Amino acid sequence: MNDHDKSRLTFFRDDILRMRGYQAGEQPQGDKIIKLNTNENPYPCSPSVVQAIRSVEAGGLQKYPDASATAFCTAAAPILGVDPNWILCGNGSDEILSIVTRAMVGPGQKVRWPFPSYVLYSVLTDIQGGLSDPVSFAPDWNLTDEFYSDQDQLGLVFLANPNSPSGTLLDPEKVLELVNAVRCPVLIDEAYADFAGVSCVDLVAQNERILVSRTLSKSHGLAGLRFGYLVAQPQIIEQLVKIKDSYNCDALSIAGATAAITDQVWLRQNVEKVRSTRQELSEQLESMGFEVTPSSANFVWCKHCDRSSLEIYEYLKSNQLLVRYMEFGSWGDGIRITVGTDDQVDALVTILSSILKKP
Amino acid sequence: MNDHDKSRLTFFRDDILRMRGYQAGEQPQGDKIIKLNTNENPYPCSPSVVQAIRSVEAGGLQKYPDASATAFCTAAAPILGVDPNWILCGNGSDEILSIVTRAMVGPGQKVRWPFPSYVLYSVLTDIQGGLSDPVSFAPDWNLTDEFYSDQDQLGLVFLANPNSPSGTLLDPEKVLELVNAVRCPVLIDEAYADFAGVSCVDLVAQNERILVSRTLSKSHGLAGLRFGYLVAQPQIIEQLVKIKDSYNCDALSIAGATAAITDQVWLRQNVEKVRSTRQELSEQLESMGFEVTPSSANFVWCKHCDRSSLEIYEYLKSNQLLVRYMEFGSWGDGIRITVGTDDQVDALVTILSSILKKP
């Protein structure tokens, strides 16, 4: 739609007409392509998930689900070391991020995050009519002093930890420093925390401005199920609940997620496999001339020393292998590669070798 | 939380701290209670739904779903008589209502609907910092002239059709009059339209300000699955997509909903059963001294001629039968009873008879 047409749609909010929507990674619906572009788990979820889903199917789907996903909260609470009422469940952690932004950010308020990071933060800010205020990471992927400057109208801070696309991690002590240096809530987006083995959930009890979001999409192998959750103090959850749709999690996902979080043995084994392959992938990439950022997640961020990232991405794609090419304006570009199975990584290495041999 | 505590949570938007959240109908998670309070379908969904869900399970849940729910849009388009890009899928039609409100309503803008109606409209308006502007129905459940008055800052009109709690219907000609009499978009919430056999989907092509939302929760017996959709012109959908979470519908619900919408035979048979029981229920209630509003939905709205609605609700509840007691301020109160199975309606009639015999 061109600008002339847009000017006709005056009943939309200006913020919406002006903004670009979030561009998700390509999701070809087929099996031929090796998909290492959206940080999905290469392994199937715990078998107990499918069992749990089937038992819900058997009872019928005609009734509304439990609005509070009580079964999940009850199962997750002891694992997380909190009470069940410290947990808010969502339709993927994207919905959790959306709920928190809608609760905290009004027109003209600033939302800050270290840059580059998850592109959705800016989209959620735009929808609210807020002001995106990304502050570049230091070269070592720590925060700079600028991150704490000019907090006027600062409504919310996002911190993806581990970060995407870099895969880098701030340890909990540094996160606590960040929280103490700002006055607004800090949402720590722990989509990839299981792969790091480090979490800030323990910090939530220390400060009501600390909110930690999690997803089952990555480490639990359940991107197709849509289930995420927030850990925060109960007086925070109580306000956020007002914003969520009553029945935001369906009956199948509540049952599946409950089974998934309960099967910690599957989770640990899965994480171990991914970490081991991540190590292998990083070494292979380095041996082929890539600069690889040390990763605490289930993907690696890399650039080749003398080939363009876009060229590599396109060559891989033409060979039925999808990775994520990402471009962050003046900050530069690179390739984010999801850790797949060992076989998928072997296939990647083979294709990469062939392109790098070319003049 | 008391007001003193709330005043401490200054990092929440005032609109959120001030508002009350939506109070959904009670959802006891158990089988003993006869649940006629949230307009669920008493019959199981089409068997093809469960088959479709199982086939997704077999393929694994580790990958993200199709962000556009293409399979559903393709299956639903010929049934609805539109192209697939006129359909936006959501995590229940509540999410559709939320997306539209977020797109259209900014702080200070008015949202109007005939009163009484779905209580969520006011909650969604509050979240946006908008102004709820309900206008009472005429005694015959038509719209009054007041509905078209003072349109300054009017950003959106909601019309539940059939309406809840009344079950009444405005025919498409009257809806078109409404649309032509206002300048803003009109969202026609057709959650119950299958039970009426009348829809405004055909009007969407006539005016881009007409948006029609639908849900699979009621007539398809899939409240537990969370799937709804909007029919609107493509330039409208294009803006709304910016607001939805990328993967707002999970893989199981997309497959299940596609199977459900395809099985129109099941739908017709189900609707016929519900309509037949609705007739029976209405007659029984009238014979017991209830004033029953003629219903085009899968529930009836009624008041007894000399017993209080609250008393009847509480007595039924104490007998393990839940209906919805609803109270709309000066407009008055009543009981909304979902059309259950014939056996459930028989049980209701038996319990009601026993209370009405008491002095």
Whether A12 maps to a domain, the answer reads no
- Cα B119 to Cα B105: distance, rounded to the nearest angstrom: 17
- From A30, A61, A211, select the one nearest B256 (Cα to Cα): A61
Q: What is the nearest CA distance from A94 to chain B, expressed in angstroms?
A: 6
Which site among B245, B248, B338 would you substitute to test the A interface, given the most A Cβ atoms closer than 10 Å to its Cβ? Answer: B245
Which site among A63, A118, A187, A270 would you substitute to test the B interface, given the most B Cβ atoms closer than 10 Å to its Cβ? Answer: A63
| Tens-digit pLDDT profile for residues B259-294 | 999 999 999 999 999 999 999 999 999 999 999 999
* Average pLDDT estimate for B334-351: 97
Q: What is the nearest CA distance from A304 to chain B, expressed in angstroms?
A: 28
B165 & B235 share domain? yes
| Tens-digit pLDDT profile for residues A82-107 | 999 999 999 999 999 999 999 999 99
Query: Which residues of A are less than 8 Å from B55 in CB distance?
Result: none
* Average pLDDT estimate for B241-268: 98
Q: What is the nearest CA distance from A70 to chain B, expressed in angstroms?
A: 10
B214 & B122 share domain? yes
Q: Quick check: A250 and B225 CB within 8 A?
A: yes
Query: Which residues of B are less than 8 Å from A221 in CB distance?
Result: 60-62
pLDDT of A243: 97
A210 & A344 share domain? no
Q: Is the pLDDT of residue B7 over 90?
A: no
Whether B11 maps to a domain, the answer reads no
B273 & B225 share domain? no
* Average pLDDT estimate for B157-174: 98
Query: Which residues of B are less than 8 Å from A226 in CB distance?
Result: 65, 91, 247-250
Which site among A153, A245, A253, A263 would you substitute to test the B interface, given the most B Cβ atoms closer than 10 Å to its Cβ? Answer: A245
Q: Quick check: B224 and A38 CB within 8 A?
A: no
Q: Is the pLDDT of residue B253 over 70?
A: yes
- Cα A135 to Cα A112: distance, rounded to the nearest angstrom: 7
Range of the domain at B89: 47-262
A150 & A165 share domain? yes
B172 & B126 share domain? yes
Query: Which residues of B are less than 8 Å from A246 in CB distance?
Result: 22, 24, 94, 120
Q: Partners of B136 in the beta sheet?
A: B115
Query: Which residues of B are less than 8 Å from A91 in CB distance?
Result: 91, 226, 245, 248, 250
- Lowest average pLDDT, out of A21-25, B210-214, B298-302, goes to A21-25
Q: Quick check: A224 and B250 CB within 8 A?
A: yes
Q: Is the pLDDT of residue B9 over 80?
A: yes
Q: Quick check: B226 and A249 CB within 8 A?
A: yes
- Cα B126 to Cα B14: distance, rounded to the nearest angstrom: 10
Amino acid present at B163: N
Whether A17 maps to a domain, the answer reads no
A40 & A54 share domain? no
Nearest to B64 among A129, A224, A239 (CB): A224
Last residue of a domain, one of A231, A262, A293: A262
Nearest to A94 among B56, B236, B246 (CB): B246
Q: Quick check: B247 and A256 CB within 8 A?
A: no
Q: What is the nearest CA distance from A40 to chain B, expressed in angstroms?
A: 6
Mean pLDDT for all residues in chain B: 95
Last residue of a domain, one of B209, B235, B262: B262
pLDDT of B205: 98
Q: Quick check: A61 and B17 CB within 8 A?
A: no
CA distances from A320 to A30, A33, A37, B235 (A): 11, 5, 12, 33
Q: What is the nearest CA distance from B250 to chain A, expressed in angstroms?
A: 5
A57 & A40 share domain? no
pLDDT of A357: 86
pLDDT of B3: 46
CATH number (domain holding residue A311): 3.90.1150.10
Whether B62 maps to a domain, the answer reads yes
pLDDT of B5: 60
Q: Partners of A323 in the beta sheet?
A: A36
Q: What is the nearest CA distance from B205 to chain A, expressed in angstroms?
A: 16
pLDDT of B6: 57
Q: What is the nearest CA distance from A36 to chain B, expressed in angstroms?
A: 11
- Cα B237 to Cα B204: distance, rounded to the nearest angstrom: 12
Q: Quick check: B57 and A60 CB within 8 A?
A: no
| Tens-digit pLDDT profile for residues B125-136 | 999 999 999 999
Q: What is the nearest CA distance from B28 to chain A, expressed in angstroms?
A: 8
Tokens for B56, please give them.
């997704």
Question: pLDDT grade, residue B213 (50/70/90)?
Answer: very high
Q: Per residue, what are the HEC states of chain A?
A: CCHHHHHHCCCCCHHHHHCCCCCCCCCCCCCCCEEECCCCCCCCCCHHHHHHHHHHHHHCCCCCCCCCCHHHHHHHHHHHCCCHHHEEEECCHHHHHHHHHHHHCCCCCEEEEEECCCCHHHHHHHHCCCEEEEEECCCCCCCCHHHHCCCCCEEEEEEECCCCCCCCCCCHHHHHHHHHHCCCCEEEECCCHHHHCCCCHHHHHHCCCEEEEEECCCCCCCCCCCCEEEECCHHHHHHHCCCCCCCCCCHHHHHHHHHHHHCHHHHHHHHHHHHHHHHHHHHHHHHCCEEEECCCCCEEEEEECCCCHHHHHHHHHHCCEEEEEEECHHHCEEEEEECCCHHHHHHHHHHHHHHHHCC
Q: Quick check: A242 and B98 CB within 8 A?
A: no
Nearest to B245 among A9, A94, A236 (CB): A94
* Average pLDDT estimate for B144-163: 97
B108 & B125 share domain? yes
A257 & A271 share domain? no
CA distances from B171 to A20, B88, B161 (A): 38, 24, 9
Q: Quick check: B242 and A64 CB within 8 A?
A: no
Q: Quick check: A57 and B50 CB within 8 A?
A: yes
Whether B22 maps to a domain, the answer reads no
Task: Find the closest chain B residue to A183 by CA distance.
Answer: B11
Last residue of a domain, one of B227, B262, B297: B262
Percentage of the residues of chain B whose pLDDT score is greater than 90: 91
Whether B1 maps to a domain, the answer reads no
pLDDT of A168: 98
Q: Is the pLDDT of residue B4 over 80?
A: no
- Cα B195 to Cα B215: distance, rounded to the nearest angstrom: 12
| Tens-digit pLDDT profile for residues B306-323 | 999 999 999 999 999 999
Name the domain count of chain A: 2
Whether B316 maps to a domain, the answer reads yes
Task: Find the closest chain B residue to A90 by CA distance.
Answer: B248
Q: Quick check: A12 and B239 CB within 8 A?
A: yes
CATH number (domain holding residue B142): 3.40.640.10
Q: Quick check: A252 and B224 CB within 8 A?
A: yes
Q: Give pLDDT < 70 ranges for chain A.
A: 1-7, 29-31
Q: Per residue, what are the HEC states of chain B?
A: CCHHHHHHCCCCCHHHHHCCCCCCCCCCCCCCCEEECCCCCCCCCCHHHHHHHHHHHHHCCCCCCCCCCHHHHHHHHHHHCCCHHHEEEECCHHHHHHHHHHHHCCCCCEEEEEECCCCHHHHHHHHCCCEEEEEECCCCCCCCHHHHCCCCCEEEEEEECCCCCCCCCCCHHHHHHHHHHCCCCEEEECCCHHHHCCCCHHHHHHCCCEEEEEECCCCCCCCCCCCEEEECCHHHHHHHCCCCCCCCCCHHHHHHHHHHHHCHHHHHHHHHHHHHHHHHHHHHHHHCCEEEECCCCCEEEEEECCCCHHHHHHHHHHCCEEEEEEECHHHCEEEEEECCCHHHHHHHHHHHHHHHHCC
Query: Which residues of A are less than 8 Å from B40 in CB distance?
Result: 62-64
- Cα B254 to Cα B292: distance, rounded to the nearest angstrom: 37
A234 & A292 share domain? no
Whether B20 maps to a domain, the answer reads no
Q: What is the nearest CA distance from B357 to chain A, expressed in angstroms?
A: 32
pLDDT of A41: 98
B202 & B161 share domain? yes
Task: Find the closest chain A residue to B71 by CA distance.
Answer: A29
Percentage of the residues of chain B whose pLDDT score is greater than 70: 97
| Tens-digit pLDDT profile for residues B11-47 | 999 999 999 888 887 877 666 899 999 999 999 999 9
